[in-house]
Amino acid sequence: MNRVKRKASVVLIVIALFTSRCSIYSPYGAQTSGASTYSVAAFEMLTPLATASSALALTEALRDRIQRQSTLRLVDESGELQFAGEIVTWEVTPVNVQGDETAASNRLTIGLSIHYENTKDSELGFDRSFSRFADYSSELDLLEVEDALVDDIGAQLSQDIFNASLGNW
């Protein structure tokens, strides 16, 4: 009798575990809604100060982030999860103003407007803005450090976008 109760308990626990999982979860922690593909359209530049190489770098940062942190497969277009975006903010502002009213540092701020469409679950799609910045010495010209700053900001933005779309935050 004790053996029958133990088997029944194990069966009930297993059933409870399987039925309590409503969503599909990947081993990387990405909430994919059962999708297997994604696409990221090249980001458009809506601000005159952004460069074409920076737009490409930011697009690639998002593609790479999703590739590394999920089991999704990148396709050129019409993925089950679709990302599109525009660079809407690209500005340099002085920070750490010193006593002689000169800035010790400058700040590059990049803002993206992202459209995310989940064809498996339309309620998970969104249109959102994301913004990040990085500081650099005012003794340096922006052109000298732009690539490194864009890489740094792109890593932050891509993580924010990943968290909002697939990280289920």
pLDDT at 1: 60
Distance CA 167, CA 29 (A): 7
What's the rounded mean pLDDT across residues 69-85?
A: 95
Q: What angle do CA 50, 53, 54 make, to 5 degrees?
A: 50
Bridge partners, residue 4, by sequence: none
**% of the chain exceeding 90 in pLDDT:** 68
- What is the mean pLDDT of the segment spanning 103-122? 94
pLDDT greater than 70 at residue 24:
no
Q: 132 - beta bridge partners?
A: 110
| Single-letter amino acid code for the residue at 157 | L
Mean pLDDT of 55-67: 97
The domain ranges of the chain are 2-165
Across the range 122-130, mean pLDDT stands at 95
86 residue type, one letter: E
What's residue 5's pLDDT?
65
Q: Residue 148: in which H helix or E strand, if any?
A: helix 142-165
The CATH homologous superfamily to which domain 2-165 belongs is Lipoprotein like domain (3.30.160.150)
CB neighbours of residue 133 within 10 Å: 18
Whose tokens are 């590739």? That residue is 67
Closest CA to 62 of 84, 77, 78, 37: 84
How would you write 50-61 as a 3-class SS string? CCHHHHHHHHHH
Question: How many angstroms separate the most distant Cα atoms in the chain?
Answer: 87
85-94, 95-104, 156-165: least confident range: 95-104
For residues 71-83, give the mean pLDDT.
95
Q: What is the pLDDT averaged over residues 138-154? A: 95
85, two tokens: 């975006």
Q: Residue 4's pLDDT is what?
A: 64
Q: Is the pLDDT of residue 26 over 80?
A: no
Q: Is the pLDDT of residue 7 over 70?
A: no
| pLDDT score of 14 | 54
Band (44; pLDDT cuts 50, 70, 90): very high
Mean pLDDT of 81-86: 98
3-class DSSP string for 73-112: EECCCCCCEEEEEEEEEEEEEEEEECCCCCEEEEEEEEEE
